[in-house]
Amino acid sequence: MSQWIERINNHPVWGELKSLGIAIDLASAREGNDATVIDGIERVRTVLAFCGKRLAATDPVLIEPRPLTTLASQVAVARTEFEAFVTDGIPAHIAAANARADEILVALPLILVPIATEDLTIINESISSYRVTLNKYLQTALAEQKKVKEASASNEVKIKALEDALTAEQKRLAAVALEYQSQFSSAQDKRASEFSTMLADQQTKYATATSEQQSQFSKDQDTRKSEFAETKRENQESFSGIIADYTQKLKNQDKAFTDKLEISAKTHETNLELLKSEYEVTAKSILDKINIHRKDVENLVGVIGNLGVTSGYQKVANLARRMLFMWQFITVAALGGLIFIAYQMAYPHPSKSVVIEIPKAISTPQSLEKPLPTVTPQVTAQSPATESEFYQGLATRIFLSLTFGIFAAYAARQASHFLEMERKNRKMALELEALGPYIAPLEKGMQDEFRLKIGDRSFGVHDNESSQPKPADPVTALDIFSPKELGEIIASAVKGIK
């Protein structure tokens, strides 16, 4: 479908026209509408029908959207007024909706339509519908007016009868009230005289009863006094007997309690002596066991302390042994390289060989387009080495020999250092481990004194060897050819081989 047609068919004015029709129907169905309101509702309905038929009869291509927007806004306002009328029933909303209908009629000619007789037909139908609706409501109004007049006449007759009956009832009520007033006055006087007589009788009876009660109370009061005195005397005698009996029983109980207390005190002292003697024996045996365990713990602590002191020396000795094995292996490897270079110097390689190619012609048949490949025999000949090449190789071997020699000497010196470290720490660890068994037979004081002397000589003592200058490590060719270094290299090589 074309976009020009869709913008008209999808315009909001169609929904507003439909909503306005629903609001008009709800307003028409509302009860209590008068002739003016009905006339306004039907006029808006006619305008709505005319507008809808006018828009439906027009080609969407010929309609411009702006007039439709104006129509939609006016129809929306009219719909709002009808909804407000349905809610509160105020006729001013219908008048406002008719004003919006005038605006709709003003905006409707802006929509271009061809002139045809259908417009007149629509207008005629609208006028006819409007007249039919008015006649219908007029007949209904006349019928209702006739019924109201008949009901009004009937109500006037009834009201007249009610007025007559009400006047008669008022007269009868006045007579009855007067009669009741006279009866009340006579009854009131009679009740007053009867009340006075009864009150005098009651006062006489009350005085007689009061005198009788007073005399009876006096007689009873004397009787109660005598009975109370007798009861009090009896209670006093009974109380004296109970107090004497209680005093005697309390004395007997105090004597029995004193005897039991003396027996309990003697028994307690006896049991306390027995408990004290048993406690002294048991405590002495427990104290002896504690002293024995304390000595065992002290010995155990001494052993643990020896192990803690010697463990450091053992760790250092083990590390020195591993480093000794490593440097001895490096020394042996360097000496092996040195021996290999010496072997190469003693038994040099033969001189270089030169390959000489001798071409040989092979007969080629004429039938073949391409010649066959030639076969070249090779003859090897020995070429003597020059003097410069000989000296150059000799210098290279000497330099390699010195390099391996320096490395072997350095490795041997390091191996000797770690050998001395391993021997020193191993000796210290063995001496400290043997310290415990050595001083075990001695007394505690002598053991502590011996440990202090050993500690003063072993820990924090200046190392004399470190103060002496150490020989430098062999890092030059001159250091290798000294007799001491050669001896160390040979000794290290022998130890590594072993």
Residue 437 to residues 299, 302, 430, 431, 432: CA-CA distances in angstroms? 10, 10, 12, 11, 10
CB < 8 Å & 24+ apart, contacts of 99-104: 100/74, 100/75, 101/43, 101/44, 101/47, 101/48, 103/74, 104/47, 104/51, 104/71, 104/74, 104/75, 104/78
pLDDT at 338: 74
Three-state DSSP class for residue 372: coil
Rg (CA), the chain: 74
Minimal CA–CA distance to 50: which of 83, 17, 10?
17
Q: Which two tokens stand for residue 173?
A: 């009520």
pLDDT at 354: 42
The DSSP code sequence of 382-430 is E-PPPHHHHHHHHHHHHHHHHHHHHHHHHHHHHHHHHHHHHHHHHHHHH
What pTM value is reported for the model?
Answer: 0.29
Residue type, 350: P
pLDDT at 355: 43
CB 348, CB 327: distance < 8 Å: no
Angstrom distance (rounded) from CA 329 to CA 496: 6
Angstrom distance (rounded) from CA 154 to CA 118: 54
* pLDDT tens track, the chain, 498 positions: 578 888 888 888 888 888 888 888 888 888 777 878 888 888 888 888 888 888 887 778 888 888 888 888 988 999 999 989 988 888 898 899 899 888 888 888 887 765 555 655 665 666 667 667 767 777 777 788 788 888 888 888 888 888 888 888 888 888 888 888 888 888 888 888 888 888 888 888 888 888 888 888 888 888 888 888 888 888 888 888 898 888 888 888 888 888 888 898 888 888 888 888 888 888 888 888 887 876 666 565 555 555 656 777 778 888 878 887 888 888 888 778 777 877 776 666 554 444 444 444 434 444 444 444 444 444 444 444 577 777 777 777 777 777 777 777 877 778 887 888 888 877 777 777 766 666 767 777 777 777 777 666 666 555 555 445 555 555 454 455 555 555 555 565 555 445
Angstrom distance (rounded) from CA 394 to CA 349: 12
Neighbours of 14 (CB within 10 A): 17
Strand partners, 382: 353
Q: Which two tokens stand for residue 271?
A: 């049991």
Give the relative orientation of helices 483-497 and 117-346 as an angle to the nearest 10 degrees: 110
Neighbours of 329 (CB within 10 A): 13
| HSE-CB of 33 using CA atoms within 13 angstroms | 24
Length of the chain: 498
Collect all residues with Cβ–Cβ distance below 8 Å to 95 and sequence separation of at least 6. 40
CB 40, CB 98: distance < 8 Å: yes
Residue spans of beta strands (DSSP E) within 243-387: 353-357, 378-382
Q: Which helix (H) or strand (E) holds 194?
A: helix 117-346
Angstrom distance (rounded) from CA 74 to CA 61: 23
pLDDT at 216: 86
Residue type, 144: E
Q: Which residue has tokens 């006449």?
A: 153
Angstrom distance (rounded) from CA 99 to CA 86: 18
Three-state DSSP class for residue 449: helix
Burial class (CB in 10 A: 0-12, 13-18, 19+), 40: buried
Q: Which helix (H) or strand (E) holds 162?
A: helix 117-346
pLDDT at 436: 67
Angstrom distance (rounded) from CA 173 to CA 453: 145
